[in-house]
Structure 1
Amino acid sequence: MATTKPKGLLERLSSGETVIVAEGYLFEFERRGYLQAGSYVPEVVLDHPEMVTSLHREFVHAGSDVVLAFTYYGHREKMRLIGKEQLLEPMNRTALKLAREVADETGTLMAGNICNTNVYDSADPASVENVRAMFKEQIEWAVEGGADYIVAERFDNLGEAKLALECIKQYGKGLPAVVTMIVLRDPVTLDGVPVKDALRQLADAGADVVGFNCGRGPTTLMPLLEAAKGDIKVPLAAIPVPYRTTEEHPNFMSFQTQNGGNAYPLELEPHLCTRFDIAEFGRTAGRIGVQYVGVCCGNSSHYLRALAESLGRRPAASKYSPDMSKHYAFGTDDTLSKTYLDASEKF
């Protein structure tokens, strides 16, 4: 159990620190066989809470400064979709409890989480009020669960992102707000706002950190943040997916299989970044001055460690960072068998 309270998010950012946050719980638990692709509801929180605790610890071990409560897609609309609305509150409260316990144990920050609802319609007042109610209850549970700040993430619609921010400011008891948007094929929100302008509007509306998460990989995400840097007066966030997106396929949802089908979300493995790609992302973020960084859907601990190390950190996982000099066939250690070193040319 940590004995000293960690510095708060805003204190860290105002002193020039970079904050690393692990996202990507949804994809990781699906890969591990504890979450269903399609609905993507985080039932693992209730079914296997020990696994959630373990992954929280693993991500901190790899370098995360933040334990993000696993309430992404744990909102009322998703629970309605699978017919389990009665589990909504227990799921949220359990997720927050698990995150708070690991944050206290490791001396890290704990963040509550709200996200895109997939039912927001600015032209329908009933839809707007429905979404507001969903945000309100999750934010209030996060406050009661001891969150240090609130993350509102993956909004493709500026109107919904603004509503999420408004709700954090109204119901969040003064907690800081980090608001991030997804950039699709074109750098324009679904409601027609250039993403650079969207970030500026969110900052002007009182968000403490703004930026992009999910959707785009490092190579197609970072140029947008670099272009926005001079116009945004609050710290920027960059949390890409670890996939090699390109100008042709700027968002990982546009990848196709060899047969012309959708590679997203079940056939993305051929497009994964290497740990060295993620390290380069970290160095780019440092050069630009992005202070809030992480990895989103597809994240794994070796990516997070590479990111942390690229920023000059030595997380606990760095004890086991690669040392290829000791490899039996490709190493350089003088005590290695020359027979196998010579044989490496035949591999």
Structure 2
Amino acid sequence: MDKNAQSKKGLLERLKEGPVVGDGSMCTTLEKRGYCRAGPWTPEAVLLYPDAVKQLLREYMRAGADVLQTPCFYCNDGKLKNVSQSGESISYSTEAINEAACRIAHEIANEGDDMLVCGGLSPVLSYGRERNMEKARAEFDSQLNVFIKHKVDFVLAEFFGHVEELEICVDVMKRSKMPIACTMRIGPLGDSNGVSVEECAVRMARTGADLIGINCMYDFNTCLKTLKRMQNALDKEGLKTYLMCQPLGWRCPEVENSLIGYADLPETPLALEPRQATRFEAHAFARAAYDLGVRYIGGCCGMEPHHIRAIAQELSSERKKNPAVDDMCPALGFLEHSQVTTIHKKVNKAYWMGQKPGSGRPFSPASSFTQGGAYT
């Protein structure tokens, strides 16, 4: 399965040595490329368009990611049945999608040098809608079985809105005997049941997970504020669990105090391009997160390969390696060879780090509004 399985360093060994770079957006990027449905965000693409999924993973690998996550976000039988267009039982099962996702992730990881494969588990409707704890455990078991069978390097519970559900999932994941990571989709207001950021952090650490943190829903600045509170809470309790973060690749400060983050934006999900973070904002985020103590840094929705490349470049001295793509295209090196005089002078990183990019839209507001339409 993995050509380097015997020799490569595991997740925990790497975290002891320095920062680990994760990969980025899958579903939202595949949707923009025409391979995924907006709204459901379920991962049938691994069965329908495997070459497209492979190419995106390959781009993250070349950009400098240390980890490729199995592209199977929101894959559980309850979710798949719920989004069936016909309302009947659909032909894509959790097992079939997770099997394909594992094969794809391992195949691309084997093209690289010393890559890790992470198996991702998602929240389940049996908890979110029914609060049926035993049924939820069974669904997490079903997701986990495939990752054990395909011998991923570690498992990740991601995008959890309730710390109680996350605790159940991590307890199930312990059966894998693998390193365990877990993230919640929380901002400053805490989880969807009103549990504070601080309590979430402490409870996550006390599950015994090796790596805890946040992912999705909020932008760089909001994530940094939340991470600082998490770190302070862990320090107060004497807990030494590693922190991770996989933020949005869009700027959305006005939803910082929303429980559902960017889902509250009028532009979501089909008009978010004007909010795209620049690669140099990703540089700045990576440095700020690392200085805060975060040791696993990747991306979620909107974080494209060039953002992951920026993170890998920013942390290259701590990681003692550069992205593979830098051999072909170093960050600024070729600008001086441009025939356009306004470009070939911009080889100074400080110039780009101080950039305040415009949208190109005259009279464009800093925050959005919708004109000529409404939704209810």
Shorter-chain TM-score bucket reads 0.7 to 0.9
Q: Residue 178 of structure 1: which of 177, 181, 202 is its match?
A: 181
> Structure 2 unaligned runs (5+)?
235-239, 346-376
Partner deviation per Cα, 1:265-298 (whole Å, 9 max, x = no partner): 1111111111111110011012112101101101
Separation in 2, partners of 1:121, 1:2: 39
Indicate conservation of the 8 Å contact 1:254/1:264, yes or no: yes
Partner deviation per Cα, 1:24-65 (whole Å, 9 max, x = no partner): 111111110001112211111001112222221111100110
Separation in 1, partners of 2:206, 2:255: 33
Separation in 1, partners of 2:120, 2:43: 13
Structure 1 position 245, deviation (Å)? 2.3
Indicate conservation of the 8 Å contact 2:69/2:105, yes or no: yes
Relative to structure 1, is the Cα distance of residues 195 and 119 closer, same or farther in structure 2, using a 3 angstrom cutoff? Answer: farther
Matching residue's letter, 1:109? L
Structure 1 residues 209-228: aligned runs within 5 Å: 209-228=211-230
Indicate conservation of the 8 Å contact 2:218/2:256, yes or no: no
Partner deviation per Cα, 1:6-34 (whole Å, 9 max, x = no partner): 2000111123x111111311111111000
Q: Which residue of 2 aligns with 1:44?
A: 45
Q: Which residue of 2 aligns with 1:272?
A: 276
State the TM-score, normalizing by the size of structure 2.
0.81
Q: Residue 165 of structure 1: which of 157, 161, 170 is its match?
A: 170
Separation in 2, partners of 1:132, 1:104: 32
Q: Secondary structure at the match of 1:216?
A: coil
Indicate conservation of the 8 Å contact 1:121/1:128, yes or no: no
Structure 1 position 254, deviation (Å)? 2.6
Matching residue's letter, 1:97? R
Indicate conservation of the 8 Å contact 1:35/1:43, yes or no: yes
Q: Which residue of 2 aligns with 1:152?
A: 157
Q: Which residue of 2 aligns with 1:99?
A: 105
> Structure 1 unaligned runs (5+)?
256-261, 334-347
Matched, 1:18 2:19: yes
Q: Which residue of 2 aligns with 1:306?
A: 310
Q: Residue 326 of structure 1: which of 337, 342, 345 is its match?
A: 337
Indicate conservation of the 8 Å contact 1:241/1:295, yes or no: yes
Separation in 1, partners of 2:52, 2:344: 39
Matching residue's letter, 1:68? Q
CA RMSD of aligned residues (A): 1.9
Structure 1 position 308, deviation (Å)? 0.7
Q: Secondary structure at the match of 1:22?
A: coil
Q: Which residue of 1 aligns with 2:358?
A: none
Matching residue's letter, 1:217? D
Separation in 2, partners of 1:230, 1:192: 19
Q: Secondary structure at the match of 1:291?
A: strand
Indicate conservation of the 8 Å contact 1:21/1:294, yes or no: yes
Which segment drifts farther, 45-54 or 59-68?
45-54
Q: Which residue of 1 aligns with 2:30?
A: 29
Partner deviation per Cα, 1:300-321 (whole Å, 9 max, x = no partner): 1111111111112410122313
Indicate conservation of the 8 Å contact 1:220/1:247, yes or no: no
Separation in 1, partners of 2:92, 2:268: 31
Structure 1 position 193, deviation (Å)? 0.8
State the TM-score, normalizing by the size of structure 1.
0.87
Q: Which residue of 2 aligns with 1:58?
A: 59
Structure 1 residues 78-117: aligned runs within 5 Å: 78-81=79-82, 82=84, 83-84=89-90, 86-106=92-112, 107-117=114-124
Separation in 1, partners of 2:14, 2:52: 29
Q: For this pair of structures, how many residues does the alignment match?
A: 321
Q: Secondary structure at the match of 1:105?
A: coil
Matched, 1:245 2:252: yes
Q: Secondary structure at the match of 2:322?
A: coil
Structure 1 position 159, deviation (Å)? 1.1
Indicate conservation of the 8 Å contact 1:115/1:155, yes or no: yes
Q: Which residue of 2 aligns with 1:317?
A: 325
Q: Secondary structure at the match of 2:71?
A: coil
Q: Residue 295 of structure 2: which of 291, 295, 302 is its match?
A: 291
Percent identical across equivalent pairs? 30
Q: Which residue of 2 aligns with 1:136?
A: 141
Which segment drifts farther, 282-291 or 321-330?
321-330
Structure 1 position 156, deviation (Å)? 0.9
Indicate conservation of the 8 Å contact 1:79/1:85, yes or no: no
